Amino acid sequence: MANLRDIRRRIKSVKNTSQITKAMELVAAAKMKKAQNQAVAGREYADSLNEVLTNLKDNTEEESHPLLEQREGGKELMLVISTDKGLCGGLNTNLLKKVRATAGKNCDYITVGRKLRMQIAKAGGNLIADWHVGDPVPFNDAKPIAKFVTEKFLEGDYDRISVAFNNFVSTLRQEPWVSQLLPIEADTLAEKRAYEGVGQGTSKETDKVSALSKDYLFEPSAEGVLDKLLPLYINFQVYQMLVEARASEHSARMVAMKSATDNAKNMIKDLTLEYNKLRQAAITAELLEITTAMKAME
């Protein structure tokens, strides 16, 4: 059985740990709010871009652009967006399970984040590139990633480009998500993705009708505008996924640190109770010794 000194040391150690986890919880909460606001700020831009793409799709021929070309083949490149730091619950573990269940045999990987980069490398996955993204996510950090995967697709190195990330649904819920980035599917070209607008659902049919009812004049041509707009569309999709993944990271870490802090408080209560019991038992034993000595001296 532990003595009083050992229990005091354990109580002090747990208190120090709870202070650290509480501080990490507060930091994660502040960062999560910034990442959530960053994702919400892109909603209006996404809606406007989707409206223009809807009209472009109707004014151009199917698969008139190389980025819309559907290819036959199993060569796939997957962009995996994870975290650089741990202490965020099962966020990375759940995403890794999703990647393993979705990725084909001929799949190469690009990673953002140190955690799954290490896991994929240990599992023997072929890593061709790794990127670092700032916090909060700058829009310029998404451009080289989008450019790199687009070039790989246009050069014919890969037949399909997909992205694996954690979709932020709510503070307590983050879903591992795999979405096809290239080739862009013409049927879903202008549809609002479920991860656009922080976990919001797809656009309603009334929104689509409203978008289709608008008339645009394209100069020099619809094909020329489409050629300029599709790379921007891909860039924005990559940026939105990065923002969703970052919001998921901070929310998961905030919940994990709150749980750790609560557990530490409960442990302190249990240790304090045990300490008081042992202290009371020690006092009682001393009183018994004194009483016994007095009786012996009578």
Instruction: Spot the catalytic one: 11, 32, 80, 88.
Output: 88
Rounded CA-CA distance 270/3 in Å is 15
Q: Among all chains, which residue has been given the structure tokens 């998500």?
A: 177
The tens digit of pLDDT for each residue in 246-255 reads 999 999 999 9
pTM: 0.83
Mean of pLDDT over the chain? 84
Give the containing element (helix H, strand E) for 17: helix 4-41
Rounded CA-CA distance 90/97 in Å is 11
Q: How confident is the model at residue 115 (pLDDT cuts 50, 70, 90)?
A: very high
Give the containing element (helix H, strand E) for 165: strand 160-170
pLDDT at 69: 82
Per the CB < 8 A criterion, the answer to whether 125 and 40 are in contact is no
Q: Which residues pair with 178 in a beta bridge?
A: 164
Q: Among residues 43, 14, 9, 10, which one has the least CA distance to residue 264?
A: 14
Length of the chain counted residue by residue: 298
Give the containing element (helix H, strand E) for 288: helix 222-297
Tell me, what amino acid is at 121?
A
Q: Among all chains, which residue has been given the structure tokens 């442990």?
A: 267
Q: 10 Å Cβ neighbour count for 264? A: 20
pLDDT at 257: 96
The tens digit of pLDDT for each residue in 190-235 reads 555 655 544 444 444 444 444 444 566 777 777 777 788 888 889 9
Per the CB < 8 A criterion, the answer to whether 36 and 168 are in contact is yes
Per the CB < 8 A criterion, the answer to whether 45 and 196 are in contact is no
The tens digit of pLDDT for each residue in 223-248 reads 777 788 888 889 988 998 999 899 99
pLDDT at 51: 74
Known catalytic membership, residue 88: yes
Mean pLDDT of 123-140: 91
Per the CB < 8 A criterion, the answer to whether 32 and 255 are in contact is no
